[in-house]
């Protein structure tokens, strides 16, 4: 009897397993990715490729391209879920706010919608769903309601801590990944992770067993508080106890670096950080220092408030592109012998440290450098392989997994060739250009494009 019942029980388990397998939509995801897009006013700063002495994109538009690129390797995955967040202050948004998905109707497949704590996710089930997600990111980039406005208040530290609290309090044990697109500029956090800036913040956080260890940063700086939250990821922020009061901090149960690393690994958290900034050649810095009579242009008015509210060094440099665009003819001849980064060293170091803060974390510096030439000049538009005919072979190169959505910079030669729009990225715009010049130069009939 006992054995027969056991067999029946095992059979029932098998049936349950088969049921779950038949409806993977109901299974928890293996990784939860929170895309955090810095939507504050400084993201409107001209950036990207330069043409005739003027940056032709913005940090915001570059951040959308970078976000797609950061997740490109997941295109065919069936077990990864995504949510998209922004942060800014004023215009009814104070800190981290989720913008997608907001309901199951937003997901490519409604059944793949998950709500976990205060977080909502859509799981993508293969390439078609993933394309829906990247199209959504493009739509967010172009949406006037989502585009940063001329408001420079940047609650960066509070937003990062809020995001970590959102995720840590959800109890997700699977991989947790933050994709973070930002240009820094913390200047208004007033809540849990408020603190004076550490102007000498190191580019890597270092462990010591000291009770008042701040990973090499100054005590109670906002950078140190973000690190406290990350390194005590699974401790509740209730009443700010983890990050706001040194005496109340919950110490990690370790006194050695290896044990500490093991705790970090167990959190299963990664920060994939893209920090966006420009290199300003000398003429731009000069234009910034001595604004011309045209300083009342609308673009400068948009930029001006940050010089009042932003405590960072980068704020002092950010009006430069507007000034340069007014003086583009004189700027065009200038070389970048001694370029100045638009981001302060202490903030760049914070991003660098965050990008290697846990075992899976990554950092990319998305630098608009006027000396960089993107793409290559093909004889025929869209003819990626220079065969003399724009056809499926060119489209196939763009669609290749190690090329599609990638940043088209050295050493990715094939992506550089595929970047027919010459903007530094391989994406839908490149496909569109190939299709716009379809069959040009071809001797034989060409079938319609397979996108
Ligand atoms: Ca391109």
The per-residue pLDDT for range 238-282, each reduced to its tens digit, is 545 555 555 545 455 556 778 778 878 888 999 999 999 999 887
Which pLDDT score, from 0 to 100, does residue 286 have?
A: 57
CA of 422 to the centre of ligand 1 (A): 5
Determine contact, residues 420/390, Cβ cutoff 8 Å: no
Which of these ranges, 63-72, 157-166, 433-442, has the smallest mean pLDDT? 157-166
Determine contact, residues 301/151, Cβ cutoff 8 Å: no
Q: What does the DSSP assignment read for 340-351?
A: EESS-HHHHHHH
Q: How far apart are CA 192 and CA 320, in angstroms?
A: 33
Which of 131-140, 142-151, 321-330 has the highest average model confidence (pLDDT)? Answer: 131-140
DSSP annotation of 334? -
Q: For the chain, report the end-to-end CA distance as a whole number of angstroms.
A: 60
Q: How far apart are CA 234 and CA 264, in angstroms?
A: 10
The per-residue pLDDT for range 273-305, each reduced to its tens digit, is 999 999 988 766 556 554 333 333 333 222 322
**Which secondary structure element, helix H or strand E, spans residue 240, and what is its range?**
none
The per-residue pLDDT for range 136-188, each reduced to its tens digit, is 999 999 999 899 987 789 999 999 999 999 998 898 999 999 999 999 999 99
**HSE-up of residue 121 (Cα within 13 Å, Cβ side):** 29
Which pLDDT score, from 0 to 100, does residue 211 have?
A: 60
Which pLDDT score, from 0 to 100, does residue 210 have?
A: 67
CA of 370 to the centre of ligand 1 (A): 17
CA of 419 to the centre of ligand 1 (A): 4
Residues 6 or more apart in contact with residue 204 via CB below 8 angstroms = 216, 352, 353, 356
Backbone phi, psi, residue 93, to 5°: -130, 120
CA of 62 to the centre of ligand 1 (A): 11
Q: Which of 33, 22, 3, 49 is nearest to 409 (CA)?
A: 49
Q: How far apart are CA 77 and CA 74, in angstroms?
A: 5
Which pLDDT score, from 0 to 100, does residue 43 have?
A: 96
Strand, coil or helix: what is 162?
Answer: helix
CA of 403 to the centre of ligand 1 (A): 11
Q: Which one has a higher pLDDT value, 134 or 230?
A: 134
Residue 46 pLDDT class (50, 70, 90 cuts): very high
CA of 29 to the centre of ligand 1 (A): 32
Q: How far apart are CA 42 and CA 156, in angstroms?
A: 12
Determine contact, residues 194/157, Cβ cutoff 8 Å: yes
> Is it the case that residue 97 has pLDDT exceeding 60?
yes
Q: Which of 146, 62, 58 is nearest to 97 (CA)?
A: 146
pTM above 0.85, yes or no: no
CA of 451 to the centre of ligand 1 (A): 16
Residue 25 pLDDT class (50, 70, 90 cuts): very low
Q: Which of 277, 390, 286 is nearest to 342 (CA)?
A: 277
Q: What are the structural domains of the chain? A: 31-275+347-368 (3.40.50.410), 377-451 (1.10.1330)
CA of 56 to the centre of ligand 1 (A): 13
Determine contact, residues 283/330, Cβ cutoff 8 Å: yes
How high does pLDDT run on average in the chain? Answer: 81
CA of 362 to the centre of ligand 1 (A): 23
């Amino acid at each position: 009897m006992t054995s027969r019942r056991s067999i029946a029980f095992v059979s029932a388990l098998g049936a349950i397993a088969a049921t779950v397998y038949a409806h993977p939509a109901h299974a928890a995801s293996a990784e939860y990715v929170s895309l955090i897009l810095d939507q504050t006013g400084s993201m409107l700063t001209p950036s990207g490729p330069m043409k005739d002495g003027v940056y032709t994109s913005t940090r915001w538009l570059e951040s959308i391209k970078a976000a797609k690129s950061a997740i490109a390797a997941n295109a065919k995955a069936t077990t990864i879920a995504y949510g998209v967040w922004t942060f800014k202050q004023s215009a009814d948004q104070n800190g981290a706010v989720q913008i997608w998905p907001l309901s199951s109707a937003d997901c490519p497949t409604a059944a793949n919608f998950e709500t976990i704590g205060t977080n909502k996710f859509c799981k993508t089930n293969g390439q078609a769903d993933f394309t829906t997600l990247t199209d959504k990111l493009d739509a967010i980039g172009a949406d006037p309601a989502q585009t940063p406005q001329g408001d420079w208040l940047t609650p960066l530290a509070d937003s990062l801590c809020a995001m970590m609290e959102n995720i840590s309090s959800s109890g997700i044990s699977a991989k947790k990944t933050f994709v973070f697109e930002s240009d820094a500029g913390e200047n208004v956090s007033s809540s849990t992770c408020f603190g004076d800036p550490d102007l000498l913040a190191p580019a890597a956080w270092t462990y010591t067993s000291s009770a008042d260890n701040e990973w090499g940063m100054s005590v109670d700086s906002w950078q140190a508080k973000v690190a406290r939250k990350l390194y005590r990821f699974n401790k509740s922020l209730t009443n700010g106890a983890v990050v706001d009061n040194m005496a109340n901090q919950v110490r990690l149960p370790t006194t050695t670096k290896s044990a500490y690393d093991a705790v970090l690994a167990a959190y299963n958290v990664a920060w994939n950080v893209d920090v966006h900034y420009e290199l300003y050649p000398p003429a731009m810095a000069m234009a910034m220092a001595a604004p011309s009579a045209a300083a009342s242009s609308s673009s400068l008015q948009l930029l001006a408030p940050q010089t009042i509210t932003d405590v960072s060094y980068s704020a002092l440099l950010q009006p430069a592109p507007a000034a340069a665009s007014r003086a583009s003819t004189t700027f065009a001849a200038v070389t970048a012998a001694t370029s100045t980064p638009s981001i302060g060293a202490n903030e760049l170091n914070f991003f660098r440290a965050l990008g290697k803060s846990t075992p899976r974390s990554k950092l990319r510096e998305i630098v608009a450098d006027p000396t960089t030439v993107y793409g290559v000049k093909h004889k025929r538009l869209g003819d990626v392989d220079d065969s003399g005919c724009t056809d499926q072979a060119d489209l196939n190169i763009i669609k290749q997994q190690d090329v599609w959505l990638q940043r088209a910079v050295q050493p990715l030669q094939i992506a550089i060739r595929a970047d027919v729009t010459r903007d530094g990225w391989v994406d839908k715009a490149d496909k569109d250009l190939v299709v716009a010049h379809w069959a040009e130069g071809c001797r034989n009939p060409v079938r319609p494009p397979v996108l």
